[in-house]
Amino acid sequence: MTVEKNIFDSKRIAIRMSQIRPSGLRKLFDLEHKIAKSSSLKILSFGLGNLNIPTMPEIINQLKIALDDPLSHRYSPNAGLFELREALAARYKTEYHLDYSTDQIVVTSGCLEALIDTFFALINPGDEVLIQDPTFGYYASQITLAGGVVRPIPLNDKFELEAEAVNEAITSKTKALVLNFPCNPTGSVMNREQIQAVVETATDKGVTIISDEAYEAITFNGHKHTCAAEIDYDNVIIISSFSKTYCMTGFRVGYVIAPPELLTPISLVHQYNTACANSPAQIAARIALHSPSSIREAMMETLIKRRTETIKAFTSVKGIELNYNPLGAFYIYPNVRGLGMNGTEFSEILLENCQIIVVPGTEFGTATPDHVRVSYGFLNQEDIREAGTRIQSYFSKSH
Ligand SMILES: Cc1ncc(COP(=O)(O)O)c(C=O)c1O
């Protein structure tokens, strides 16, 4: 018998790694590819937070031009191309009436690098960091890697974060609060008053707010996103990227925006981490900021149709419930308890019997094991409809 070695417990590996496990989302990605090879039915994946809507051609053309320019074969300035930061500052002024200088912006390799740079710059060993539950699974591991202690706060029934819950969770060790609206995995949003109540509660107690606004531009039914820095310019670190807003997940361009006191240490971590984001991708990203609004409107039209179809596909089965309105991002987060199973069991049954992939709620915290995340970023309407047919057919037979 071979005994599997736990590499994380090896003396050759840093102790901090014993608390880190690979992301279940990546495992799902690998599983999907493995199953696709042996399955006769097309795998319909509502798994990853990827988008299959084409990136704007002007962005691609600019990338090709940049690749032929020797200047883009070099490191960019640490903080990112000046012209890109200038365009970002202009965007935050127009969109949110926020005045940032180019020195208050650092361009990173996506939100993910921006987040880990921020955690390393802020957290001392043992500092507590509040996160939502459920929330994007990467935060907990990144905070742990930086030496912090993760303190999850359960969201309410509508997947909103209540100021009172934040107030109760704050202790003398609380260093920061990670906000994420529109929220991954729920697609829930918060209105201005709700964001204001949370931000003010944290600020009053000296807790810094790290606001991951990766989905800021993807909202439905007229919901207007509030940037947390509109409420408190001095205490909010904005994290965002081009990934979701411009269908550029593979370009890996994101950024941090913050008051100088907070940005300077973050930018130092960035310097020693990656030196700079990919130069050609930064040049292409600048074009995205100048893209006509019609491009984004077309993307939103596609997502609106997929959202409607996805809600229909999953909720027409008795026992699958969506009792809140997911007005942002490209996820829905239904509860499957009514089927007599939890989210993990449901996702296994769906994969085995319908060749459909969804992500169990346990990937996003401990508060919502009966839910599953359904991403409609990567399937067209026809495939979503087909998924609905498969789900209805299976559950009408088995229940
Ligand atoms: C909430 C949230 N933040 C950050 C990211 C990562 O974004 P990026 O591609 O900019 O690194 C994701 C990706 O799914 C996400 O859902």
Every domain of the chain with CATH number 3.90.1150.10 lies at 9-54+294-398
Which CATH architecture fits 9-54+294-398? Alpha-Beta Complex (3.90)
Place of tokens 């006509």: 292
Q: Ligand 1, from 28, 136, 216: best to mutate by most atoms within 8 Å of Cβ?
A: 136
Ligand 1 and 136: CB distance under 6 A:
yes
Cβ–ligand 1 contact at 214 (below 6 Å)? yes
**What single DSSP character describes residue 299?**
H
Which atom in ligand 1 lies closest to the alpha carbon of residue 252?
Answer: 9
Q: Which residue owns the Cα nearest ligand 1 atom 16?
A: 184
- For ligand 1, is residue 375 a contact (CB within 6 Å)? no
Residue 109 Cβ inside 6 Å of ligand 1? The answer reads no
Q: Is 254 close to ligand 1, i.e. is its CB under 6 Å away?
A: yes
Residue nearest to atom 3 of ligand 1 (CA): 214
> What are the tens digits of pLDDT across the range 225-259?
999 999 999 999 999 999 999 999 999 999 999 99
Q: Look at residue 378 and give its three-state secondary structure.
A: coil
Q: What six digits make up the tokens of 86?
A: 């200038």
- pLDDT over 50 at 364, yes or no: yes
CA distances from residue 259 to 124, 214, 234, 360 in whole angstroms, order as listed: 20, 19, 6, 37
**Encoded amino acid at 182, one letter:** P
Question: Is a pLDDT exceeding 80 seen at residue 40?
Answer: no
With the most atoms of ligand 1 within 8 angstroms of its CB, the residue from 55, 184, 186 to mutate is: 184
Q: Angle 82-96/279-289 helices, nearest 10 degrees?
A: 30
Q: Give the Cα separation of 359 and 28 in Å (integer).
A: 8
What's the pLDDT at 80? 98
Whether omega for the bond prior to residue 152 falls within 30 degrees of 0, making it cis, is no
pLDDT tens by residue, 369-390: 999 999 999 999 999 999 999 9
> Which residues of the chain form CATH 3.40.640.10?
57-289
Domain covering 57-289, topology: Aspartate Aminotransferase; domain 2 (3.40.640)
Among 22-31, 40-49, 259-268, 329-338, the minimum mean pLDDT is found in: 22-31
pLDDT of residue 399: 65
Percent of the chain with pLDDT over 90: 83
Q: What is the pLDDT of residue 5?
A: 56
How far is residue 385's CA from residue 364's CA, in Å, rounded to a whole number?
26
Q: Is the CB of 243 under 6 A from ligand 1?
A: yes
Residue type, 129: V
For 389, residues 6+ apart whose C-beta sits below 8 A from its C-beta are: none
Say which DSSP state 133 is in: E
Q: What is the mean pLDDT of the chain?
A: 93
